[in-house]
Structure 1
Amino acid sequence: MTAVLQVVSEGGAGDLPEYPFGVEDRLDSHFFVPWERRRWLNSGMRLRGTAECRALYLDLIWISYDQSPVGTLPDDTAMLAKLLMVDHEHFCGLIRHDFGPLHNWSRCATKDGEVRLYHPMVLRTLTEALARREDHRAKSEAASMQKRLQRLRIMLANYNKELAENDAAVSWIDEWLQRQGVAKRTATQVERALGAWSNHMFDLGQKGRHS
């Protein structure tokens, strides 16, 4: 998965880049994020920002992971000051620093047309996390399918061992059962599926004779 910011020109968003993730993209189980320690230790923000600005800067990064869309912040200094639990006027003074709490945060347009703030480093960690989640989901689904097919083969072997070894037949019967919305594959359901398979093969034979 590659997240790419695109330039948009809609409504009040002007020519701001469009944030690639929407409100539907969540990381509810993402309780930690990888942190490039050496990059942070040698960054301009850490070396040149004041202790207070560095603390608020890091706070805003962690806060952004619980925002919607994930990884963004409100484009509102009053709201940000409230989230940080600091005085608004004081916060506005801090963000005027070259290495203030909003260092490297930029405005973007969300898919819903809202203007918010994003940070390229946060976006990168999110892109990697969501890619890993999708990869894990794909592997889990593949493993579940293999287990389901194996159980089906065992049930089919009780009726026809040769059919149970036919990959095409097993896949077709599996798909038929899924289309029927069969949650629990009982002997009765499998027998119905076998009947449907027989009808399917008969229809193919009839078409072959007339072609």
Structure 2
Amino acid sequence: MSEAAKTIRLVDSDTLFEYPIPSGERLDSHFFLTWRFDWWLHSEFRLLADKEVRAVGFDLFNIAQKEDPVGTLPVDERLLARLVGETLEEWRRLMERPIGPLYNWQQCRCDNGHVRLYHPVVLKVAQDALGVREDRLTKREAERERKRLDALPDKMLRSGAPKGMTEDAVVVLQFDQFLVDHFDTMGQRRPPMIRKALEAFSLAQDGVDWKAEFSR
């Protein structure tokens, strides 16, 4: 084995990098990469590795996005060979190259205690994707909440609430939270449920244990 190949072998360490993305975090809609092409074009891996190794290495960048935790790879060479569709013998042959397919991949410890491989750039790509997803989910939830609050005063009015109550934004917000905490099952806000919730809300506002009252 050449000295260059030895330098890219993975070495056990008592102080492994703690991988920041938890296991179980999925990117089900993560069907494309926000690829950092400038990094790729100027990376040592692309400039120094032969084309065969580059192809396998690029596959690994993509494969890692569907692994668990997202952005990691297994340490076991048998699994790595299978992931890229090569025989174990061929995988070992590629790893003997001066620049192999795991160039700049390092060991890390995951939140479940498993030791896996990570690459700093691949990790950044995964974190960016998670950030985009979380931002979209937050915006989607905010839009659902806005629509829910917009519709609530009319539902309250049709369920017997005084008009003044439905025009008080603070009371509407309080009632909405009361519904979420105690009555809002699967988002079904039908008139019978709203009427029952209004009665319970009124009792709660008067300091009465409405649950005890309802259980009689």
Scaled by the length of structure 1, what TM-score is found?
A: 0.83
RMSD over aligned Cα atoms? 2.0
Residue of structure 1 in register with 2:183 after alignment: 180
Residue of structure 2 in register with 1:131 after alignment: 131
CA drift at 1:156? 2.2
Tell me the amino acid that sits aligned with residue 196 of structure 1: A
Tell me the amino acid that sits aligned with residue 171 of structure 2: A
Residues 13, 113 of structure 1: 8 Å contact kept: no
Residue of structure 2 in register with 1:157 after alignment: 157
Once residues 102 and 43 of structure 1 are traced to their aligned partners in structure 2, the CA distance between those partners, rounded to angstroms, is: 14
Q: Percent identity?
A: 37
Residue of structure 2 in register with 1:196 after alignment: 200
What aligned pairs does 1:8-27 form with structure 2 within 5 A after superposition? 14-27=14-27
Once residues 202 and 112 of structure 2 are traced to their aligned partners in structure 1, the CA distance between those partners, rounded to angstroms, is: 51
Once residues 191 and 56 of structure 2 are traced to their aligned partners in structure 1, the CA distance between those partners, rounded to angstroms, is: 62
Once residues 86 and 205 of structure 2 are traced to their aligned partners in structure 1, the CA distance between those partners, rounded to angstroms, is: 73
CA drift at 1:23? 2.4
Residues 59, 84 of structure 1: 8 Å contact kept: yes
Once residues 82 and 194 of structure 1 are traced to their aligned partners in structure 2, the CA distance between those partners, rounded to angstroms, is: 60
Q: Which runs of 5+ in 2 are unaligned?
A: 1-11, 209-216
Residue of structure 2 in register with 1:90 after alignment: 90
Residues 13, 109 of structure 1: 8 Å contact kept: no
Q: Which runs of 5+ in 1 are unaligned?
A: 1-11, 205-211
SS in 2 for 1:108: strand
Residues 108, 115 of structure 2: 8 Å contact kept: yes
What aligned pairs does 1:1-211 form with structure 2 within 5 A after superposition? 14-158=14-158, 159-178=161-180, 179-182=182-185, 183-203=187-207
Query: Which is worse superposed, 177-186 or 107-116?
Result: 177-186
SS in 2 for 1:185: coil
Once residues 13 and 144 of structure 1 are traced to their aligned partners in structure 2, the CA distance between those partners, rounded to angstroms, is: 48
